[in-house]
Chains A and B, each alone.
Chain A
Amino acid sequence: MRNQKKSSFAWRNIIESRLFFPLIALFLILLFDFIFIPGFFTIENRDGNLYGSLIDIFRNGSTVMLLAIGMTLVIATAGVDLSVGAVMAIAASMAGILMNPSALRNEVFFVTDPTYTFQPLWVVIGAALIVSLICGVWNGVLVAYMRIQPMVATLILMIAGRGIAQLITNGLRVQITYRPYAFLGQGWIILPFSLYIVAFVYAGTWLLTRKTAIGMFIESVGINFRSSFFSGIDEKKIKLLVYTFCGLCAGIAGLVASSNIRTSDANSIGLMIELDAILAVVIGGGSMAGGRFSLLASMIGALVMQAITQSMYAVGVPAFALQAIKAVVVVFVILLFSEQVRSFIRGISAQKKEV
């Protein structure tokens, strides 16, 4: 029976695939760039490291990609995590204050020595990730065990999170000068270092969800949590897991983002980025009602979001108009996923055949 499936592999299968529409969208944006932006596809080789607009899309998109990985799993359980931006800020503040605690002492003093750090790097990163993990557990407990609706439950941390981040840094923006930390977001090993982080998290998540039963359980819980419960799946534990994991992803994204701007700025790091992450998943074909998920499709969704931003800047669209243009493109992509539009397109092509 399974052999049949292979032999019937056809154009139709490609169109029905999860990856098809996000890839088409990405292709169209890149085509636009190819035509209107000279040198967009030029990749420079400087001392063995690759630079260029294309590479920048990946590098700047890495935070949204990291968030989209966690968000994909949360959305697959029919939930949503609005707090990822705030968790990024908390992780960044934690990392910043550990490297440069001057803010706590109310000293108007900024470390400028690129080799100085108050705590070793592994403590900095470890502490930041543990804090973001705790944030994830908080969300997970509220959603899974307290049965609070995901949007409301994560809204709490979304609002409170930035306050917590400011408490950590005593309300100050902490400069990050320590060079090894800056490598997270700005380092290059042929490709930007943040891409390796994304690849690592992606591969780990893929193994965790597809080589264990967790992926199937997540989908099962998202599709019908009652049937899942009757089948012996501990749906609460699954939900706790995905929110915790989403928090961890947000923490990693927060480290990359703060390293990139060399500041842990509780007010601007990851601001409104939760919406980009959610849109990335939605562009990747994830249903907000939960169910089947594709990490790869969400990654492409994140790249689509970043490619739009990058291209608009490159053609000289002012920053204030960017959001509006982004919205138009997003609406277009999401329409392609709507069953209404799809059956409409199918109807048109069917009519053509009849004529």
Chain B
Amino acid sequence: MSESNQNILEMEGISKAFPGVQALDSVNFTLRKGEIHCLVGENGAGKSTLIKVLTGVDRPEAGRMILDGKEIHTRSPQHAQTLGISTVYQEINLCPNLTVAENILLGREPQRFKSIDWAKMNADAVEILKRSLDVDIDVTKPLGIYTVAIQQMVAIARALDIASAKILILDEPTSSLDEHEVQQLFKVMRKLKENGVGIIFITHFIGQVYEISDKTTVLRNGKLIGTFDTASLPRFELIAKMIGRSLDDLDEMSKIKLESSKHIRTEALLKAKGLGHSGAISPFDLELHSGEVVGLAGLLGSGRTEIANLLFGIDKPDTGSITFAGDEVTDYSPLGSIKRGVGLCPEDRKAEGVVDDLTVRENIILAIQANNGWFKFLSVQEQYDIADKYIELLQIATPSPDQPVGNLSGGNQQKVILARWLATNPHLLILDEPTRGIDVGTKAEIQKLVLSLADEGKACVFISSELEEVLRTSHRIVVLREREKVAEFSGEVDENTIIHAIAGSEA
């Protein structure tokens, strides 16, 4: 009896189906008071769906939920919040045009004389951010001007500030945070844990699972694999449970990489000279070779994405020039880049990648069609052929090529964008955080894919927040710090050397 009293939340036999997908198949989940409970699994394992059921976004078809000994039926996230369940979602769900303070206190604004007490509201917001997250920013500025990491912090601050929170759900909050910010967040989580808040933490970073959690629940393909004490579950076993297959693949990687490095061409495919954009990235020189993967390493906001956007023509450079395959580039635009044979998988999948109401097929052919122009329209049959080919090649989990891409899980959406660019058969493919918010299995798939592209003679630029991943996939690594290119390493590099370069300290 005392056992169940400690359980703050019990979910029993939860089932939920979407068109063509059984997202959850009678899943049980129990959360105790003051427990940090990790929820892990591959893309489409059902983690996000379980959270959506709990917070009332989706209704379960079967199963019941008991909060503090009472059965609950959450109707909406607002309703869940009044019950004491607060959530920070994977994708930031705030209003970028409102100020930081408004975002934090939206719907709970301090009032005076029946109108909003702005001074108090701003003071409160500063206080909340400082106290809970140790973040010091101007709360009267619109949220949109801050980096993704800061926006994420604000989202967390908002969720935390709801005083009655019994359960805090963090759906991949760390995917865009740098190490320092992650530690800040963990500090907050530990404090909340002491106060008896139950925390459900979803992450793809296995290291974080071990660092912070008491228990770990593994889901795979909508089914519960099991709940384990984190400390007594070996890492290898956890990953094996998540992906349901052995990890020999990862060792294979270094072999593939070594093999492919033989094919690197000596003459440069792309030469950037003194390329720069004021306020975004200081002028830098960069050479990219066919058959080579160049990794960009650096902290969030160090200028990685800015380099990618300059190379692809999203932003026009203020200084310097690019020579591509011997010719000086004059047309700095995405379309110009596509015509040259350059592709970019953008960092922000939701805002810059997928067109969510279009089908998987249309999303895949979008870049080819843009290259073809308005009137050279691919026939429906050609479209299906291309879509089917890449759905099979990249193993995109979709019930049909006619499914709106918005219905797919994050990892599969990423694969659709990869397919969009692979279909254009580019000479140079720039991948900006292609593995962000993606499970271990798919990550390995994408890394292998990048190397095999290089093997085919394409040049690749690989950007990732995970240094280990950059090291594993890149033949050459460019290090960025504070919007400046600071170092370049090729051949076998020690992880510590790069960390020192990123940090700006002597090795």
A residues lining the B interface (CB < 8 Å) = 1-2, 4-5, 211-214, 216-217, 219-220, 223-224, 226-234, 291-292
Cα–Cα distance between A233 and B372 once the two chains are bound (Å): 10
Asked if B470 CB lies within 8 Å of chain A CBs, one says no
**Pairwise interchain contact A224-B401, C-beta atoms closer than 8 A:** no
9 contacts across the A-B interface (CB closer than 8 A): A213-B369, A213-B374, A220-B355, A229-B334, A230-B314, A230-B353, A231-B334, A231-B370, A232-B366
Q: How far is the CB of B392 from chain A (nearest CB, A)?
A: 11
Contact A232–B355 (Cβ < 8 Å):
no
Let me know if B461 is at the binding interface, CB within 8 A.
no
Does B440 lie at the interface of the complex (its beta carbon under 8 Å from any beta carbon of A)?
Answer: no
Interface check B71, CB cutoff 8 A: no
Question: What is the bound-complex CA distance between A5 and B373, given in angstroms?
Answer: 30
Encoded as 1 (CB less than 8 Å from any A CB) or 0, chain B from 335 to 376 comes to 101100000101000011111111000100011011111111
B384 sits at the interface (CB 8 A): yes
Bound-complex Cα distance A201 to B357 (A): 27
Instruction: Check A224/B355 contact, CB under 8 A, given A213-B372, A232-B367, A233-B370.
Output: yes
* A213: chain B residues within 8 A (beta carbon): 369, 372-378
CB-based nearest B residue for A289: B357
Closest chain-A Cβ to B389's Cβ sits at a distance in Å of 13
12 further interface pairs, Cβ-Cβ under 8 Å (given A224-B351, A234-B335): A2-B402, A213-B369, A213-B372, A213-B375, A213-B378, A216-B366, A220-B355, A223-B357, A229-B314, A231-B367, A232-B334, A291-B357
**B420 interface hit (Cβ, 8 Å):** yes
Residues B314 and A219 in contact, CB atoms below 8 Å apart: no
CB within 8 Å for A231 and B357 given contacts A1-B401, A217-B374? no
CB <8 Å contact, A2 and B334 = no
Confirm or deny: B400 has a beta carbon within 8 angstroms of a beta carbon on chain A.
Answer: yes
Closest 4 A-B residue pairs measured CB to CB? A232-B370, A232-B338, A232-B335, A231-B366
* B residues near A216, Cβ cutoff 8 Å: 358, 362, 366, 369
Q: Could you tell me if B334 and A5 are in contact, using CB atoms closer than 8 angstroms?
A: no
Cβ contact within 8 Å between A230 and B384 = no
Instruction: Give B273-289 as 1s and 0s: 1 = Cβ < 8 Å from A's Cβ atoms.
Output: 00000000000000000
**Interchain CB contact under 8 A, A226 and B351:** yes
CB distance from A3 to the nearest CB of B (A): 10
Per the bound structure, the CA–CA distance linking A223 and B338 in Å amounts to 21
Are A227 and B335 also in contact (CB < 8 A) when A2-B400, A220-B366 are?
no
Query: Which size class do B's interface residues fall under?
Result: 20 to 34
Is A230 a contact of B344 with CB atoms below 8 Å? yes
B372, closest chain A residue (CB): A213
CB nearest neighbor in A for B424: A232
CA distance A35 to B367 in the complex (A): 54
Instruction: Identify B355's interface contact among A5, A214, A227, CB under 8 A.
Output: A227
* Complex contact A4–B400 (CB within 8 A): yes
User: Which chain B residues lie closer than 8 Å to A2 at the CB level?
Assistant: 384, 400, 402
B366 contact from A214, A233, A234, A291, Cβ within 8 A: A233
Assembled-state Cα–Cα distance A212/B380 (Å) = 11
- Given contacts A219-B358, A220-B358, A227 and B352 within 8 Å (CB-CB): yes
> Of B338, B355, B374, which is within 8 A of A228 by CB?
B355
Residues of the B chain whose Cβ atoms lie less than 8 Å from the Cβ of A292:
357
Flag if A223 contacts B346 (CB, 8 Å).
no
Chain A residues with Cβ under 8 A from B346's Cβ?
A: 230
Q: In the complex, what's the smallest C-beta–C-beta distance from A186 to chain B, in angstroms?
A: 37
* B352 pairs with A226, CB closer than 8 A: yes
- Write out, one digit per residue, whether chain B residues 455-493 have a CB within 8 A of any chain A CB (1) or not (0): 000000000000000000000000000000000000000
C-alpha gap A155/B273 in the complex (Å): 47
Which residues of the other chain, A, contact B355 by a CB distance below 8 angstroms?
219-220, 223-224, 227-228, 231
- Residues of chain A within 8 A of B399, CB atoms compared: 1
Q: Is the CB of A212 within 8 A of B351?
A: no
- A212:B377 contact, CB within 8 angstroms: yes
B353:A227 contact, CB within 8 angstroms: yes
Chain B contacts for A224, CB-based, 8 A: 351, 354-356
Task: Give every chain B residue within 8 A of A227 (Cβ-Cβ).
Answer: 351-355
Shortest CB–CB separation between residue A344 and chain B, in angstroms? 13
Which residues of the partner chain A approach B370 to less than 8 Å between Cβ atoms? 217, 231-234
B351 surroundings in chain A (CB, below 8 A): 224, 226-227
Chain B residues closer than 8 Å to A229, beta-carbon distance: 314, 334
CA distance A239 to B214 in the complex (A): 54
A77–B378 Cα distance when bound, in Å, is 22
| Bound form: Cα–Cα A213–B377 in Å | 5
Chain B 370-397, CB within 8 Å of chain A: the 1/0 string?
1111111110000010000000000000
Contacts of B377 in A (CB 8 A): 211-213
A251 to chain B, nearest CB (A): 22
Most A Cβ at <10 Å: residue of B338, B373, B378, B401: B373
For the complex, give the distance between the alpha carbons of A223 and B357 in Å.
7
Collect the chain A residues with CB atoms within 8 Å of residue B371's CB: 232
In the complex, how many angstroms separate the beta carbon of A256 from the nearest chain B beta carbon? 28
Q: How far is the CB of A292 from chain B (nearest CB, A)?
A: 6
Q: Which residues of chain B are near A1, meaning CB under 8 Å?
A: 399-401
CB distance from A209 to the nearest CB of B (A): 10
In the complex formed, the residue of A with least CB distance to B378 is A213
Of all chain B residues, which has the CB nearest A241? Answer: B374
A223 with B356: in contact, given A2-B384, A4-B400, A213-B373 (CB under 8 Å)? yes
Residue from B355, B356, B373 whose CB has the most chain A CB atoms within 10 Å: B355
> Which residues of B are found within 8 Å of A291, using beta-carbon distances?
357
Which residue from chain B places its CB closest to the CB of A232 in the assembled complex? Answer: B370
- A226→B334 CA distance, assembly (Å): 11
Contact among A211, A217, A231 with B420 in the assembled complex (CB-CB below 8 Å): A231
Question: Knowing A1-B400, A2-B384, A5-B402 touch, does A230 contact B375 (C-beta < 8 A)?
Answer: no
Min CB distance B231 to A, Å, is 43
* Shortest distance between the CB of B409 and any CB in chain A (Å): 18
| CA–CA, A219 and B357, complex, Å | 9
Q: Which residues of B contact A220 (CB under 8 A)?
A: 355, 358, 362, 366
Q: How far is the CA of A223 from the CA of B337 in the complex (A)?
A: 23
Query: Cα distance A1–B403 when bound, in Å?
Result: 11
The A-contacting residues of B in range 302-340, CB under 8 angstroms, are 314, 334-335, 337-338
CA distance A4 to B367 in the complex (A): 28
CA distance A232 to B332 in the complex (A): 11
- Asked whether B420 lies within 8 Å of A5 as measured between CB atoms, the reply is no
Nearest residue (CB) in B for A228 is B355
Whether A214 contacts B374 by the Cβ 8 Å rule is yes
Contacts of B376 in A (CB 8 A): 213
Give chain A residues whose Cβ lies under 8 Å from the Cβ of B362. Answer: 216, 220
Collect the chain B residues with CB atoms within 8 Å of residue A217's CB.
Answer: 369-370, 374
Task: Give the CA-CA distance A247 to B374 in the complex, in Å.
Answer: 20
Shortest distance between the CB of A66 and any CB in chain B (Å):
23
Q: Specify which chain B residues have a CB less than 8 angstroms from the CB of A5 in the assembled complex.
A: 400, 402
Complexed CA–CA distance, A232 and B423 (Å): 14
Most buried by A among B358, B376, B399: B358
Q: Which among B338, B357, B376, B384 has the highest number of chain A CB atoms within 10 Å? A: B357
| Cα of A224 to Cα of B353 in the assembled complex, Å | 9
Which residue of A is nearest B337, CB measured? Answer: A232
Q: Which residues of B contact A4 (CB under 8 A)?
A: 400
Q: Is B373 a contact of A223 with CB atoms below 8 Å?
A: no
Kindly list chain B residues whose C-beta atoms are within 8 Å of the C-beta of A228: 355, 366
Closest to B339 in A: A232
**Cα distance A196–B371 in the bound complex, in angstroms:** 36
Q: A2 CA to B383 CA in the complex, in Å?
A: 13
* Residue in B353, B367, B369, B376 whose Cβ sees the most chain A Cβ within 10 Å: B369
